[in-house]
Amino acid sequence: MRPGWRSKLTPAWRCAVVTRVVTVNDILDGHVGLDLECFDRIYLNGWVPTLQVPGQVVSFLTRHLGFPIPSPVILERIGLRFRREVKEFAEANDIPVVRFAKGDRKLDVMCPYLDRLAREGRSGVAAIGVAQEFQRVFSGTTYHAEPEGGGVPRFGYAKADRRVTAYYLSTRLVTRLVTRTTVNRRAPGGS
């Protein structure tokens, strides 16, 4: 309690104060269930909870990746490396890369590739779809102390809507149901 403040709460009420943060999972635990009988596609969107504000981006670049200067150039290099590795993965595994046109239904475009794997009875990546989409991402800016670009640069990060390259790896998983039969054998002459 702050100095100079007086409490009008009884001692019993003070004991009811929550001592930890209550999460959505705590509230929903035992009240919400997910029951799947069949599904034919799953969309996974990854996000890192510790990269949601600019200071966390700086921490990621310096502490996690080990760069002494949190330059936006690092993020550009990470993106370029990812795009290069997706291209190399497709080439090495003979996977078609399909560019989606504006308005294409992605599943309709990918169905022939998925059907080909099904006919062959194989699992794997059927095709890689590439689309330009708007996402809310961090945009890095370099500021200079002097108007001509001289002086010590400083960097800023802010969220902005930007067109990004999105990759859709359409996969087919072949699952086999294995059943086991247990045969009880009796010894000859046994009951």
User: Percentage of residues in the chain with pLDDT exceeding 70?
Assistant: 65
| pTM, 2 dp | 0.63
Mean pLDDT of 114-121: 88
Mean pLDDT of 170-176: 67
pLDDT tens-digit series, residues 147-161: 777 778 888 899 999
Q: Identify the residue whose tokens are 């104060």.
A: 17
Question: What integer pLDDT is reported at residue 131 of this predicted model?
Answer: 92
Mean pLDDT of 4-28: 49
Mean pLDDT of 70-91: 92
Are 127 and 97 in contact by the 8 Å Cβ rule? The answer is: yes
Q: Which residues does 175 contact at the CB level (< 8 Å), separation at least 6? A: none
Question: What integer pLDDT is reported at residue 98 of this predicted model?
Answer: 95
